[in-house]
Amino acid sequence: MAGIHPSAVVAEEAQIGPGCTIGPFCVIGPEVVLGADVNLKSHVVVTGDTHIGDGTEIYPFAVIGEIPQDKKFGGEKTQLRIGARNRIREHVTMNTGTAGGGGMTRVGDDGLFLAGCHVAHDAQIGDRVVLVNSVAIGGHCIVEDDVIVGGLSGVHQFVRIGRGAIIGALTMVANDVIPHGLVVGPRGELDGLNLVGLKRKGVKRADITALRAAFQMLKDGEGTFQDRARRLADESDSDFVQQMVAFILGASDRNFLTPR
């Protein structure tokens, strides 16, 4: 049975899973679905066609599922889907999608979204993503699994960030970031690989060595960036390198941050 504080306003049509806790002064809209053991601390607004997965915790003054901050939005029915076991801290905002962007904003499992973060319309956020304080993820972005974005950073709309990448604090990311890349600087520059993250995940030394060699080829090899990636696809048998190559050769609306 859910524990709902008397001061909370919960629409009758909302679906509240077993074991949920809805704290003081929360507001839950009629299309909201909360999975089991979701914990809304207090003063949380969850609205729109929003589903939140089991075991997720949301802290005070977060606003989840409001309409997009997009002038083109015309009131169409769109959605927000949030996975399991996320921790969403104070003043975080996550918006539903737009018809032009596929109609759905999606957040994976086991993420950590620190105070003041924003996930805009139609963004696709993977599993185990960490957005540090006041990070802004623009509309239509794709942030793959295990990405960390440092505090006060911004990611331009339509940008893709490959899995395992790390973005330093105070960085503006305007172009795609390769998997396991390290991006730093006021105007983000690709400055190497996320070696600390790779080692923490227990990636084999042979794969790390292959990734470092691949990075050097992308940086210094002959031909265009895409040509170098195609050569890597033919020459490397490392799954991690092939993952990077597939990301580079995949469809994108942005250019890549290239190694400096």
Q: Indicate whether 1 pLDDT > 70.
A: no
pLDDT of res. 51? 98
Token pair for 106: 């999606």
139 is catalytic: yes
Tell me the DSSP string of 38-51. -EE-SS-EE-SEEE
Instruction: Give the active site residue among 139, 154, 162, 188.
Output: 139
pLDDT of res. 159? 97
Contacts of 233 (CB under 8 A, 6+ apart): 242, 245, 249
Give CA–CA dist 148/22, Å, rounded.
29
Predicted structure pTM score: 0.95
Instruction: Give the active site residue among 49, 97, 110, 121.
Output: 121
122 is catalytic: yes
Q: Give 121-151 pLDDT, tens digit per residue.
A: 999 999 999 999 999 999 999 999 999 999 9
Q: Give 77-125 pLDDT, tens digit per residue.
A: 999 999 999 999 999 999 999 999 999 999 999 999 999 999 999 999 9
Q: Give 25-76 pLDDT, tens digit per residue.
A: 999 999 999 999 999 999 999 999 999 999 999 999 999 999 999 999 999 9
Instruction: Give the active site residue among 37, 49, 109, 122.
Output: 122
